[in-house]
Amino acid sequence: MQAFTILTAIAAPLPIANVDTDQIIPARFLKTIKRSGLGKSLFAGMRYDDEGAERPEFVLNQEPYRGADILIAHENFGCGSSREHAPWALLDFGIRSVIAPSFADIFYGNCFKNGILPVVLPRSVCDQLMEDAKLGANARITVDLERQVVVRPSGEEFPFSVDPFRRHTLLNGLDEIGQTMQHTAEIATYETVRHTAKPWMPSISL
Amino acid sequence: MSASHPRTLFDKIWADHVVEQLEDGTALLYIDRHLVHEVTSPQAFEGLRAAGRRVHAPGNTIATVDHNVPTSDRRHGIAEPESRLQVETLQENVREFGVPFFDMLDERQGIVHIVGPEQGISLPGMTIVCGDSHTSTHGAMGAWAVGIGTSEVEHVLATQTLLQKPAKNMLVEVNGVLPPGCTAKDVVLAIIGRIGTAGGTGHVIEFAGPVIRNLDMAGRLTVCNMSIEGGARAGLIAPDETTFAYIEGRPFAPKGEDFDRAVAYWKTLPSDPGAHYDTIVRIDGSEIAPMVTWGTNPEAVLPITGVVPNPDEAPGEAERAQMQRALDYMGLTAGTKLTDIPVDVVFIGSCTNARIEDMRAAAAVARGRHVAPNVRALVVPGSGLVKTQAEQEGLAEVFIEAGFEWREPGCSMCLAMNPDKLLPGQRCASTSNRNFEGRQGKGGRTHLLSPAMAAAAAVTGRLTDIRELV
């Protein structure tokens, strides 16, 4: 996984609440066995018309937001499905950070597994950042995971919180499975105890 | 936390599965059951292969195909190449990694959240995961069951553990007696209408109270299924005699003395008196009416006796804009009576409502009636076993005589990954769980409701108060 430390970039304003995973990547695009190539289908319903042509009014079809690395949205971003295709599509488009007043739990967790930093800031702050974002390339926003601050173009800083464990993993781009496998002995011990305590626990075999 | 401290059902399951406590409250949790399907697993198996890792505990794992499979005759395989590739990829992966598998033509195949409880694979006190947000369904067994992303699917396959921080406890108590015509679906839609789509974020919801207690297992599974629609990754219900009676004799459930020992353990699981909940919501079940959604997320829900709401009456500009956007998408005008809304398609199925009890409820309405002209109505049983049972009980015949399509099991039109999908602008009365934009097909419009209400809409051709038909 790609590490995330500090990012200064164009931010795209998406002032919508409850952006769901079917909006981020509709189910018809989940028929893939790869993680890559989903960027073109990101927000497909809002981004393209029935003939597949770009809708010029959608923010990611406009300059300079075609090159946005940050997305700013309203409450409950990413609600719905557990499909990791949602962060994969964002990442493939180039989005490395989403800033919103709140996120759905599963989407929030999935972001960290893919080098995307979801940042929770109060609605009033998101509204200010949304105004900055509307200025386009003249108003780059900085997301600093090391210092846990978002910096406006004016230099004003807003601190945000993030779980220390997730922060450490993301800052260093660590392989979580590799880390967990260092606990193989503890897992084996747990399994032995479990077998003794719950001897009735069936093993599935066909 | 000391053992004498009053604990919730969730607290107990959590404590019983901590392999190791890590920093900042994050724990390495042991996973008892991992359900795998074709859409969210290919990249996970590929990751294992690339790293030279194996599946740690195949005996804790079960795979099936559900999202992509056609619901028409499929003895000749899958026509759509991308769907076929996903199914074939899972077939190869389960073979290579030794994972137990119900393939497409196996009678036990079905929607993964129908199959787990039906087979006795999902049991009380377990930790259960699947790369699908409706894994919350299995919480009805008295388990902690959550949807995970593909990276976590790979993590569980490789280590049989998950890195987690404990959620907060939320109690949703539904009191009183449910009025006639109301079902578990109406209860959970009413709950989501009350708490909102983000009301349960960061929480595990424990559903309790006499209305929940009086639900059969099918109803409890419906309620827990939609926990995620209220923002909670997991919803659960304390196991009781209803639960134990449901489990006994199922193929993968403990047998004989093992069953008795398991029950003795399961009886220790319900929340202790005085256990702490971070959030408590109480609902008067006797005030619940048959519910239907009008908008583009499940909190946009009203009793069927209501009218399409007016955005000008929204509390703020942001809410007004959101409501207007929903009405525009849904093609609805404020003030229209919900019972005056015509439907083009009726879908009875999904992990929310495709159990035998749902088939019976819909068939009871369909019996002796006929699907309205210009309406297409599909019934998609949740598993091969549900399909067979419905055929043995004569339900399939009732549906077919009434003009419904009787299909093979799968996720089908809930998310339109197979050929069952709405056309742009089509309006559907659906027993599924999500009314998001484009969920049932690009440009499709979804109204969520119970199986009986869906069957009623099919025969009248419009959203209908079931109480007018019974």
- Each residue's pLDDT tens digit, B351-383: 999 999 999 999 999 999 999 999 999 999 999
Quote the distance between the C-alpha of residue B179 and its chain's center.
23
Q: Give a three-class secondary structure readout of chain A.
A: CCCCCEEEECEEEECCCCCEHHHHCCHHHCCCCCCCCCHHHCCHHHHECCCCCECCCCHHHCCCHHHCCEEEECCCECECCCCCHHHHHHHHHCCCEEEECCECHHHHHHHHCCCCEEEECCHHHHHHHHHHHCCHHHCCEEEECCCCEEECCCCCEEECCCCHHHHHHHHHCCCHHHHHHHHHHHHHHHHHHHHHHCCCCCCCCC
Residue B283 pLDDT exceeds 80: yes
Q: Does the CB of B171 have a partner CB in chain A at under 8 Å? A: no
Q: Which of the 8 DSSP states describes residue B178?
A: P
How close is the nearest chain B Cα to the Cα of A52, in Å?
Answer: 12
For chain B, first and last CA: distance in Å? Answer: 52
Q: What is the mean pLDDT of residues B116-132?
A: 98
Per-residue model confidence (pLDDT) at position B230: 98
Kindly determine whether residue B261 and residue A199, on different chains, have CB atoms separated by under 8 Å.
yes
Per-residue model confidence (pLDDT) at position B318: 87
Number of C-beta neighbours around residue B20 at 10 A: 16
Give B64-111 pLDDT, tens digit per residue.
999 999 999 999 999 999 999 999 999 999 999 999 999 999 999 999
Q: Does the CB of B83 have a partner CB in chain A at under 8 Å? A: yes
The closest alpha carbon to A139, from A28, A12, A18, A3, belongs to: A12
Give B331-344 pLDDT, tens digit per residue.
999 999 999 999 99
Give B388-427 pLDDT, tens digit per residue.
999 999 999 999 999 999 999 999 999 999 999 999 999 9
Identify which of B133, B265, B318 has the shortest CB distance to residue A80. B133
Kindly determine whether residue B161 and residue A17, on different chains, have CB atoms separated by under 8 Å.
no
Give B293-303 pLDDT, tens digit per residue.
999 999 999 99
Give B307-325 pLDDT, tens digit per residue.
999 999 999 998 999 999 9
Kindly determine whether residue A177 and residue B86, on different chains, have CB atoms separated by under 8 Å.
no
Interface with chain B: mutation pick from A24, A32, A82, A130, highest number of B CBs within 10 Å:
A82
Kindly determine whether residue B437 and residue A45, on different chains, have CB atoms separated by under 8 Å.
yes
Kindly determine whether residue B198 and residue A45, on different chains, have CB atoms separated by under 8 Å.
no
Identify which of A79, A164, A165 has the shortest CB distance to residue B198. A79
Burial class (CB in 10 A: 0-12, 13-18, 19+), B372: middle
The per-residue pLDDT of chain B, averaged, comes to 97
Contacts of B135 in chain A (CB under 8 A): 82
Kindly determine whether residue A186 and residue B19, on different chains, have CB atoms separated by under 8 Å.
yes
Residue B1 pLDDT exceeds 60: no
Percent residues over pLDDT 90 in chain B: 98
Q: Is B182 annotated as a binding residue?
A: no
Contacts of A19 in chain B (CB under 8 A): none
Give A97-121 pLDDT, tens digit per residue.
999 999 999 999 999 999 999 999 9
Q: Which residue has the higher pLDDT, A206 or B152?
A: B152
| Residues 320-359 of chain B whose Cβ lies under 8 A from any Cβ of chain A | 322, 325
Contact B111, B352 (CB under 8 A): no
Q: Does the CB of A152 have a partner CB in chain B at under 8 Å? A: no
pLDDT tens for chain A, 206 residues long, are 899 999 999 999 999 999 999 999 999 999 999 999 999 999 999 999 989 999 999 999 999 999 999 999 999 999 999 999 999 999 999 999 999 999 999 999 999 999 999 999 999 999 999 999 999 988 899 999 999 999 999 999 999 999 999 999 999 999 899 999 999 999 999 999 999 999 999 999 98
What SS3 state is found at B227? helix
Q: Is B224 annotated as a binding residue?
A: no
Contacts of A28 in chain B (CB under 8 A): 416-417, 442
Residue B2 pLDDT exceeds 60: no
Q: Please give the structure tokens belonging to residue B47.
A: 């990751």
Kindly determine whether residue A23 and residue B436, on different chains, have CB atoms separated by under 8 Å.
yes
Q: Domain limits of chain A? A: 6-173, 175-206
Query: According to the CATH classification, is domain A6-173 in 3.20.19.10?
Result: yes
Q: Is B414 annotated as a binding residue?
A: yes
Per-residue model confidence (pLDDT) at position B3: 55
CA distance A86 to A98: 12
